Amino acid sequence: MNDAILTVSHITKRFGTIVANEDISFSLGKGEIVALLGENGAGKTTLMSILFGHYVADSGTIEVFGKKLVEGSPRASLKAGVGMVHQHFTLAGNMGVLENIMLGTESLTCLKSNPGKAKKKLNALMERFGLTVNPKALVKDLSVGEQQRVEILKVLYRDARILILDEPTAVLTPQESDSLFETLSHLVKEGLSVIFITHKMREVLAASHRCIVLRRGRVVFASETCKTNAKTLARAMVGSDLPKIFRQRQIPGKEVLSLRDITLVDKNGKKSLTGLNLSLKSNQILGIAGVSGNGQSQLADMISGLVPTYEGQILLDSKVVSHISPRRMITEGVGRIPDDRTGTGLISDMSVMENVASKDYGQFPFSKRGLLQFKAIAARANRLVKKFDVRCPGIDTQVRQLSGGNMQKLILARELSGSPRIILANQPTWGLDVGAASHVHRQLLKAAEDGAGVLIISEDLDELFQVADKICVMYHGRLSDSQDADSVDRAHLGLIMSGQAAFHDGEKNET
């Protein structure tokens, strides 16, 4: 492009024998939005980390506004006009908006802060770019969408003219996502340029001017967005056509899980769940939508047996369960796919084989008279790795060496191989590319077809509409009535998620 303000030329980056980026070149024009796509491990984050100064490229150059960018210095990138908003916000919750924005902008040798000057500049930015937020508010009291505005304002306050957004809508409601892209449209009209990393095709097609696809560290596709489509982009990302996912309507069977008037109080005396009712049946997928922090984690932990003290009743097959524990719920046939793959889903320092065996190592044929039977454990691990397409050098590979998608496949292999009656999937495709997400969805749909009751907790409405039979919303620890996924209005669900629409939670939330 003749008006390019950012030029990336022949960037290559290796980590040992692994080539993360190979001979990557692209440009960004003034007032342009470029979407960057690719599978997990395709090299997107590495490339952006080089651009923002976290990594140094092995070869190649980057020019910003015609000048070569100093390598390996985030401060130099900011000074050159490059700012980055990470997927997980880096804000101090106990500090105010203005304090967060000023943080790190004043010299350590400065004897006195000048909040008046900073507030004047912040107000000018908010007025110019349409980013409204209360400068005096504590960050912890802001909505997720408002916190994201603060992150963007932090970058603009530092005079950034190129904005990098990593999965910008991962934790936003549909309305907040629409608001974000309205903001981005306003930013580019004011002359800023944007690169955003996303897995959501709808956003790419709706918001970007151009799109670039990375696969195995190389640029394999680049196009003006108006000249391509979701199918072409998905094929470029994974190297082949994705199998189509069809949600076939099943006749729900008997009730396998019921929660009745559940109330949960945290250690600070605050109710995280209030009067919660839920009914899940076999051959059914029930989706729970909601913005992060509304009680979903507490609900998932309780169903997994990690929260032994609560008010109300948990019923499995219409029988009240008391004295719950993780082992008890596993014995009762509950399979758990947690939202934190590396923290609670897998043990990163252990091998693929050891992680596969971590739930049932004490059972026959994997154990005899208290002794582990490694041949049986290895044979099962090899069988499941092949069946679930877990791509790894071997079953002795440490889990930390796997990509996010392959970690998730490993969890699915372990949890679904025992044919659980109830499957709890908390954010099952969080951070996964379209190929890995498609694999996860197919496995969950098959489990429901085979008779399991599947409970999916997700912040991604697209995901729930694709696989769920019924959808309900979690807001401030309460659960709304479930509604048929084929007839419920997406916009209305978004309003409930943000607390802007009437909230109804029936006595039993029958599905």
Helical spans, DSSP H, in 42-114: 44-51, 74-80, 97-102
- For residue 1, the model assigns a pLDDT of 43
Give, in degrees to the nearest 5, the angle at Cα 128 between 126 and 132: 25
For residue range 262-319, what is the model confidence (pLDDT) as tens digits? Answer: 999 877 778 889 999 999 999 999 999 988 778 898 999 999 998 888 899 999 999 9
Q: Is the same domain home to 118 and 39?
A: yes
* Residue 270 located in a structural domain: yes
For residue range 36-46, what is the model confidence (pLDDT) as tens digits? Answer: 998 777 888 88
Percent of the chain past pLDDT 90, that is, above it, reads: 42
* Residue 401 located in a structural domain: yes
Q: Is the same domain home to 43 and 138?
A: yes
For residue range 406-447, what is the model confidence (pLDDT) as tens digits? Answer: 888 899 889 988 889 999 999 888 767 777 788 889 999 999
Domain count along the chain: 3
- For residue 504, the model assigns a pLDDT of 64
For residue range 11-35, what is the model confidence (pLDDT) as tens digits? Answer: 999 988 878 999 999 999 999 999 9
Q: Is the same domain home to 15 and 71?
A: yes
Domain holding 137: CATH number? 3.40.50.300
Q: Is the same domain home to 272 and 152?
A: no
Q: Stretch 158-171: mean pLDDT, rounded?
A: 84
- For residue 62, the model assigns a pLDDT of 95
Residue 107 has pLDDT above 70, yes or no: no
How far, in Å, CA of 411 to CA of 343, rounded?
12
* Residue 177 located in a structural domain: yes
pTM of the model: 0.68
- For residue 366, the enclosing domain spans 346-419
Q: Is the same domain home to 131 and 259?
A: no
Cβ burial 27-47 (10 Å sphere, 16+ → b, else e): bbbbbbbbbbbbbbbbbbbbb
Which of 188, 218, 238 is the last residue in one of the domains?
A: 238
Kindly state the tokens that stand for 273: 């769940």
For residue range 356-367, what is the model confidence (pLDDT) as tens digits? Answer: 888 877 676 777
Of 84-88, 155-159, 396-400, the poorest mean pLDDT is in: 84-88
Q: Are the CB atoms for 32 and 207 separated by under 8 Å?
A: no
- For residue 362, the model assigns a pLDDT of 63
Q: Is the same domain home to 136 and 279?
A: no
Please state, rounded to an integer, the average pLDDT across all residues of the chain. Answer: 86
For residue range 444-457, what is the model confidence (pLDDT) as tens digits? Answer: 999 999 999 999 99
Q: Is the dihedral of CA 202, 208, 209, 214 positive or negative?
A: negative
Residue 241 has pLDDT above 80, yes or no: no
Which of 177, 206, 238 is the last residue in one of the domains?
A: 238
Q: Is the same domain home to 83 and 222?
A: yes
How far, in Å, CA of 27 to CA of 6, rounded?
5
* Residue 339 located in a structural domain: no
Q: Are strands 33-38 and 18-29 parallel, antiparallel or unpaired?
A: unpaired
- For residue 22, the model assigns a pLDDT of 95
For residue range 346-391, what is the model confidence (pLDDT) as tens digits? Answer: 998 899 999 988 887 767 677 777 777 788 889 989 999 988 888 8
Residue 112 has pLDDT above 80, yes or no: no
- For residue 503, the model assigns a pLDDT of 65
* Residue 137 located in a structural domain: yes
- For residue 257, the model assigns a pLDDT of 96
Q: Are the CB atoms for 467 and 456 separated by under 8 Å?
A: yes
Of 5-9, 361-365, 477-481, the poorest mean pLDDT is in: 361-365
Q: Stretch 240-252: mean pLDDT, rounded?
A: 78
Q: Is the same domain home to 491 and 353?
A: no
Which of 419, 451, 484 is the last residue in one of the domains?
A: 419
Q: Is the same domain home to 260 and 156?
A: no
- For residue 507, the model assigns a pLDDT of 41
- For residue 50, the model assigns a pLDDT of 93
Q: Is the same domain home to 414 and 433?
A: no
